[in-house]
Amino acid sequence: MQDRLQALKEEALLKIQQASDLKALQDIKVSYLGKKGPITEVLKGMGKLSPEERPVVGAYANEVRDAITSALELKISELEQAVIEEKLKKESIDVTLPGRPVRKGNAHPLTAVIEEIEDLFLTMGFTVAEGPEVETDYYNFEALNLPKDHPARDMQDSFFITEDILLRTQTSPVQARTMEKHHGRGPVKIISPGKVYRRDDDDATHSHQFMQIEGLVVDENVRLSDLKGVLETFAKKMFGEERKIRLRPSFFPFTEPSVEMDISCFKCGGKGCSICKHTGWIEILGAGMVHPNVLEMAGFDSKKYTGFAFGMGPERIAMLKYGIDDIRHFYTNDLRFLKQFKKA
């Protein structure tokens, strides 16, 4: 019986040595060490041995099992290492080759302009305030001196969700909400950037969704001259120190008096060209002194507090600043367009 076990051991070790893959080793393991293997069959005959021979044969059988198991583990380790080395050879990297350049992104031109405007007003002591894009009719219109029957509402054809809920048509509701939070106590000094929505037909200069930045200052003894000073600083920092501004009378329901601000054309210097439509001036934004009704509805005493507000479209600022002729370029995600602003 020991001779038979010795022969099985030598036979198994030879097959293990000749095995060329992991599957073959698994087959050898099952064949020799499995429940139906030859070693198990030999051990079944131990009952015919004398009591003195049984422990000797049993110990030798265990030695054979251990030898085969050890040989299998060693061969498996060798084959696994060979697989890894072969894979490394095939996937080797020539570290002397120059690396592939990583394409870096850049800020969207609108984002760049908005951040530039925000930084400018932050240096003048303003803070940035934000509010919901889905707004109530009250904050979007009524709190801004636009009651339900006011004809000026026709200027802002809106996306209504319900009779009293709509997509905001301006960021002015942020001003009303901010003033309410101050509970009638100044000062208030904010800008409110964000997306707004109006039912417009999309073309080169109009979009149903666009960005807006509005500003608000409320305090005691705020004058129109303060508004002019702030706007003049903005124009010079944004379009060049040589820029001049002019204020023209206008109408907005939430301000009184109301003005439109123009800047001297940065292309022709005021002489007249296609950009300024040969007038020498370019319209930039609307502004005015906060209407007393708006102050009162927000809880401020209009006899004690005054204020000014202004609003501008970052798309228009960016179009003028970078010479862009179609507002739709900002929203089509065309990389050929966006790559031009890596240094913007």
pLDDT, tens only, 292-316:
999 999 999 999 999 999 999 999 9
Domain housing 81: 1-91
Q: Distance between CA atoms of 119 and 326, rounded to whole angstroms?
A: 26
* Number of separate domains in the chain: 2
- Tell me which of 57, 91, 125 is where a domain ends: 91
Angle (nearest 5°) at CA 238 between 237 and 240: 65
Give me the count of residues in the chain.
344
Confirm or deny that 41 is annotated as ligand binding.
no
Q: Are 174 and 245 part of one and the same domain? A: yes
Please say whether the beta carbons of 168 and 196 come within 8 A.
Answer: yes
Output the six-digit token pair for 157. Answer: 């054809």
Q: Are 118 and 68 part of one and the same domain? A: no
Q: How far is residue 36 CA from its own chain's centroid?
A: 64
**What single DSSP character describes residue 99?**
P
pLDDT score recorded for residue 173: 95
182 belongs to a structural domain? yes
Give the mean pLDDT of 75-79.
Answer: 86
- Tell me which of 91, 118, 137 is where a domain ends: 91
Please say whether the beta carbons of 111 and 331 come within 8 A.
Answer: no
Angle (nearest 5°) at CA 51 between 49 and 55: 90
Single out the residue of 169, 213, 174 nearest to residue 194, CA to CA. 213
Strand pairing category for 188-197 and 127-128: parallel
Q: How many CB atoms lie within 10 A of CB 190?
A: 20
100 belongs to a structural domain? no
Q: Which residue has the higher pLDDT, 206 or 117?
A: 117
Single out the residue of 78, 76, 49 nearest to residue 61, CA to CA. 49
Per-residue pLDDT of 95-112, as tens digits, reads: 787 878 888 888 899 999
Q: Distance between CA atoms of 143 and 293, rounded to whole angstroms?
A: 9
Q: Are 62 and 194 part of one and the same domain? A: no
Q: Where are the beta strands (DSSP E) in 131-242?
A: 134-136, 165-167, 188-197, 209-219
Per-residue pLDDT of 213-226, as tens digits, reads: 999 999 999 999 99
pLDDT score recorded for residue 344: 47
pLDDT score recorded for residue 251: 92
Q: How far, CA to CA in Å, does 146 sit from each of 125, 163, 179, 187, 310?
A: 29, 16, 17, 24, 17
Q: Distance between CA atoms of 242 and 250, rounded to whole angstroms?
A: 25
Place of tokens 């904010």: 190
188 pLDDT band (50/70/90 cuts)?
A: very high
Q: Are 121 and 29 part of one and the same domain? A: no
